Amino acid sequence: MEAVRKILDSTSLEPIIPLPKSFRNKKVEVVVFLHEENHNKTKKRHSAFGSLNGYTKPDLNVTEEGAMAKAMVSKHADC
């Protein structure tokens, strides 16, 4: 990977790049790399979350509340 390095006075960079106050009136090193866009990241990802939403039965949602707790009670009632 190629890079360009140059030491400059910070006052010449102030109009271009906002610098901290501690950098003012000092020599700074500037390193420039080529920005490569990754086109693979722009692909839309499909999530499994919500993909089965069309198959739900809203009238059964009431029975789902507390179903896990009821199953645990019935499973471990003999203990």
Q: What is the pTM of this model?
A: 0.43
Structure confidence by residue, pLDDT tens digits, 35-52: 877 766 556 666 776 777
Question: Residue 45 falls within a domain, yes or no?
Answer: no
Question: Residue 4 falls within a domain, yes or no?
Answer: yes
- Domain total in the chain: 1
- Average confidence score pLDDT of the chain: 83
- Domain carrying residue 12: 1-35
Question: DSSP letters of 30-79?
Answer: EEEEPPPP-GGGGSPPPPSTTTTGGG--GGGHHHHTTHHHHHHHHHSTT-
